[in-house]
Amino acid sequence: MTVTFDEVTQVFHLSNQKMSYIMEIKEPGFLLQVYYGKKISRFDHRGDYPEVDRSSFSPNPPGWKNREFSLDTALQEIPGQGTSDYRESLFEIVYPDGSSATSFVYQSHHIYQGKPKLAGLPATYVDDKEEAETLEIVMVDPFRQVEAILVYTIYRWRSVLTKSVRYRNLGEVTICLNRGMSACVDFDDDNFEMIQLPGAWAREKHIERQSIGTGIKILDSKRGASSVTQQPFMALVRPETDEHQGEAYGFHFIYSGNFSIRTEVDPFCQTRVLVGINPSHFSWQLEPLEMFQTPEVVLVYSNEGLNGMSQTFHHLYRERLARGKFQYQQRPILINNWESTYFDFDETKLIELAESSAELGIELLVLDDGWFGKRNDDKSSLGDWYVNQQKLPRGLASLAKAINDKGVKFGLWFEPEMISEDSDLFRQHPDWHLHVPGLPSSQGRDQHILDVSREDVRDYLFVTMVKLLNKAPIEYIKWDMNRNMTEIYSLGRPPQQQQETAHRYILGLYDLLERLTNKYPDILFENCSGGAGRYDPGMVYYMPQSWASDNTDAIERIKIQYGTSLVFPPIMSCAHLSESPNHQVGRLTSFESRSAVAMSGNFGVMMDVTQKTASERKSISKVISFYKQHRHLIQFGEFYRLLSPFEHNDGAWLFVSENQDHALFFYFEILSQATKPFRRVKLAGLDPDAEYLVENVIRTGEELMNYGLYVNYEMQHDFSSKVIDIRRSDSDTL
């Protein structure tokens, strides 16, 4: 791995075994992109991008002697605004005189081993300096007293480049950063299709693939959270790219608030990708000498198809984004009482649930919503984080002890960022939520959002949670968040800083999470936002697992989990075995299919196991013990998508152990058909030369990957599934 700068050619080359990213400086200092893609071992000249006059209406930079160069057609690293590039800009700065034209030129650079932290923000990291190299390029506008430091880190063993920017005011007057995005990549062609992960509540991360036409396409969130509507992710892929081969460029933003991913194809069939904080609802007062740090964008390059891209994300997020004690630990099998009791539970019920769960091999009981204040429905008490005496008269500590005595750990649900109007906290602090004084405030699920951009509010939440966590043996927290922002205004800031509130909120949230997770390293935190409303890489930094969706229907989950796996590894996506008929969609599904889908992630249970018959309990217990036997493989193995449920009436995926000795294959047929076509599925990731035992037959890895397995011929019901355990026949795991 190297980051080099050739003084003669003025070319920067960032490369590792898999990829190259090349830029060059052009007089008087414009930083231009040259190449991003498969590794080029030697690149010892300047880029050959032709210089011919095709600018017509596109002006040339001031003082330029010919018409053969225009910023409007150049491939740029830091496209500015108001200085002849009419495409989308990376930034917009407004000066006290009301003007905004800014053009950055190269001033200096610095290359060093390792990767810097990002002040107050989650980011990928290294454990050892040798793992990555960083390039910082200082860009200045000589007429404007501003600088932008472009920060690039390339990992040695991963096809990963990260980018962020620090914008700094070098002058003596306040300037206004109206747009401060994190990364721009300009490609010189448009031979791409775009993959995105849109969704809605209970229908998260559905894969959509479409061609990119001329013009601008925006994927974004203006909801104050990354949201279910869009994941802060986009991939550009070649038309021929599929799961197993072809080029894919993945862009993922490590941020949990408003974001924007803009893809623009210009008249010359060049494609620009911009990623960053959404300029809408954003503007930052940059005081003299103040710096604004943008969040980080992860860029993954794969020439091994979408699985190659996803596996790079999976490893990076497991190994260098998630942190703490649980990062490499197998996750406990939990039972959550939400779908079995909703708000209607008491101590006796929970202890029975714990006892019954322990007998089945469940390791942790999570008490969900309704344990605090006077909360018996979703209309009150958020903010009153003290125990509901009517339901739990002996308190949380006693409940937790009783549950522990049954042999399971105890976990608790919180929704710390929210406040109900009907709560003691609201009565004491009617000004602590986001709202515009004098205007009515919108409610969502009958709740407001606490203004965690304010330090006093954060401190209150921290102290309140600490009191609780110190009192009872709580070993897991489900951190929920069930509405999006409106009337975004903070009483903690002057009027001219109100457009900073949405971002300051996210910085405040990160600060609170950092403090809590540092103070309680032994608590396993699970991220939730009505399912996956804020399941993004920013949250992964603080919480190593997330509730992938409130939809627990096995059939809907096939798509949700398939889509989620595009960027997040299965260990991070919690999936629960739930009742049939399903509570969200009313569908009846077999126990086998429900367990197969739930077992394909971070497995848990969401049913009232106390009400099950002996034979149902036997089945649950068998599934739990099967999962335990395969837990390491599922949570830490390589995940391959094989057959897309978005394209077919069936879907398939596979887990393969690191040493390729062991694999677990899952196949799902959605609707049954008469006289149906046979489905032969080719596996992936096995050792071609090894022999594997598959359903009592020995087959070579080569055969399994090229010929595959016939899977659906015996299936005769809707919503069928098949799980096949595959072992290397000469391994001791057999």
- Contact between residue 168 and residue 291 where contact means Cβ atoms under 8 Å apart: yes
- Can you tell me the distance from the alpha carbon of 638 to that of 652, in angstroms, rounded to the nearest whole number? 14
550 labeled binding residue: yes
> What is the crossing angle of helices 455-471 and 395-405, to 10°?
50
- Determine the Cα–Cα distance for residues 296 and 657; give it in Å rounded to an integer: 31
Contact flags string 370-389 toward ligand DGJ, x per CB under 6 A = --------x-----------
Please, which residues have CB within 8 angstroms of residue 254's CB and are 6 or more apart in sequence? 121, 122, 123, 124, 295, 296, 297, 298, 321, 536, 537, 538, 541
User: Which of 205, 277, 273, 291 is CA-nearest to residue 559?
Assistant: 205
CB of 447 to ligand DGJ, least distance (A): 10
Rg over alpha carbons for the chain, rounded to the nearest Å, is: 27
Pairwise CA distance, residues 216 & 212, whole Å: 9
Active site residue 344: no
Question: In the bound complex, what is the minimum distance in angstroms from residue 161's beta carbon to ligand DGJ?
Answer: 34
Q: Is 480 annotated as a binding residue?
A: yes
Q: Torsions phi, psi of 428, nearest 5?
A: -80, -35
**Which listed residue (338, 345, 414, 653) binds ligand DGJ by CB under 6 A?**
338
Smallest CA-to-CA distance from 285 within 31, 495, 446, 105 is with: 495
Binding of ligand DGJ at residue 479 (CB under 6 A)?
no
Q: Report, in Å, the least distance between residue 201 CB and ligand DGJ.
A: 9
CA dist., res. 655 & res. 334, Å (int): 22
**Amino acid identity for residue 30 in this structure:** F
- Interface with ligand DGJ, residue 556, by CB under 6 A: no
How far from 240 is each of 199, 214, 217, 251, 541, CA to CA, in Å? Answer: 25, 20, 21, 19, 34
**Does residue 482 bind ligand DGJ (CB under 6 A)?**
yes
Answer yes or no whether residue 570 interacts with ligand DGJ by CB under 6 A. no
Q: In the block, which residue shows the tokens 């053969």?
A: 68
Binding mask 661-690 for ligand DGJ (x = CB under 6 A): ------------------------------
State which amino acid sits at residue 66: N
Is residue 119 a contact partner of residue 44, using CB atoms and an 8 Å limit? no
Site string for ligand DGJ, 426-465 (x = CB under 6 A): ----------------------------------------
Establish whether 481 is an annotated binding residue: yes
CA dihedral in degrees (707, 248, 203, 342; nearest 10)? 90
Tokens of 40: 């080029």
In degrees to the nearest 10, what's the CA dihedral of 711, 712, 713, 715? 130
Instruction: Determine if 133 is a binding residue for ligand DGJ (CB under 6 A).
Output: no
CB nearer to ligand DGJ: pick between 141 and 339:
339
What is the spatial distance between Cα 630 and Cα 665, in angstroms, rounded to a whole number?
12
Establish if 417 lies at the interface with ligand DGJ (CB under 6 A): no
Q: Shortest distance, CB of residue 465 to ligand DGJ, whole angstroms?
A: 17
Q: Does 475 bind ligand DGJ (CB under 6 A)?
A: no
Quick note: the x/- pattern for ligand DGJ over 294-323, rule CB under 6 A, is ------------------------------
Task: Closer to ligand DGJ by CB, 547 or 665: give it.
Answer: 547
Nearer Cβ to ligand DGJ, position 414 or 562?
414
Count residues near ligand DGJ (CB under 6 A). Answer: 12
Nearer to ligand DGJ, 266 or 480 (CB): 480
- Annotated binding residue 478: yes
Is residue 619 within a helix (H) or strand (E), and if so which, with residue range? helix 614-636
Beta strands (DSSP E) in 41-95 are 91-94
- Please tell me whether residue 413 binds ligand DGJ under the rule CB under 6 A: yes
Which residues touch 28 (CB under 8 Å, ≥6 apart)?
61, 105
Q: How far is the CB of 538 from ligand DGJ (least distance, A)?
A: 18
When binding is defined by CB under 6 A, the residue of 480, 500, 691, 703 that contacts ligand DGJ is 480
Say whether 404 counts as a known binding-site residue: no
- From 480, 536, 553, 661, active-site residue: 480
| Interaction of residue 341 with ligand DGJ, rule CB under 6 A | no
Q: How far is the CB of 463 from ligand DGJ (least distance, A)?
A: 24
Q: DSSP string spanning 354-384?
A: HHHHHHHT--EEEE-S-SBTT-SSTTS-TT-
Residue 458 CB, shortest distance to ligand DGJ, in Å, is: 22
Q: How many CB atoms lie within 10 A of CB 536?
A: 29
Selected from 526, 550, 553, 661, the binder of ligand DGJ by CB under 6 A is 550
**640 part of the interface to ligand DGJ, by CB under 6 A:** no
Taking the complex as a whole, the smallest distance from the CB of residue 343 to ligand DGJ amounts, in Å, to: 9
Residue in 72, 384, 536, 550 annotated catalytic? 550
* C-beta of 337 vs 600, nearer to ligand DGJ: 337
Contact flags string 511-540 toward ligand DGJ, x per CB under 6 A: -----------------x-xx---------
* Residues in contact with 287: Cβ distance below 8 Å, sequence separation at least 6, in sequence order: 169, 174
Assigned token pair, 663: 């694999």
CA 22/CA 38 separation, integer angstroms: 11
Question: What are the helix (H) ranges across 233-383?
Answer: 305-320, 338-341, 347-360
Output the smallest distance, CB 415 to ligand DGJ, in A: 7
- Do residues 460 and 385 make contact, with C-beta atoms less than 8 angstroms apart? no
369 labeled binding residue = yes
**Residue 368 is labelled as binding a ligand:** yes
Does 204 help bind ligand DGJ (rule: CB under 6 A)? Answer: no
Structural contact between residues 473 and 367, judged by C-beta atoms closer than 8 angstroms: no
| Contact predicate 177/91, CB 8 Å | yes
Residue 446 annotated as binding site:
no
Residue nearest ligand DGJ, CB atom distance: 369
User: Is 201 labelled a binding residue?
Assistant: yes
Residue 528 or 654 with smaller CB distance to ligand DGJ = 528
- Per-residue binding letters, 266-285, with ligand DGJ (x by CB under 6 A): --------------------
Any catalytic annotation for residue 480?
Answer: yes
Residues acting as catalytic residues: 480, 550
Q: Which residues are annotated binding-site positions for substrate? A: 201, 368-369, 445, 478-482, 528, 550
Q: Which residues are annotated binding-site positions? A: 201, 368-369, 445, 478-482, 528, 550
Which residues here bind ligand DGJ, judged by CB under 6 A? 338, 368-369, 378, 413, 480, 482, 528, 530-531, 547, 550
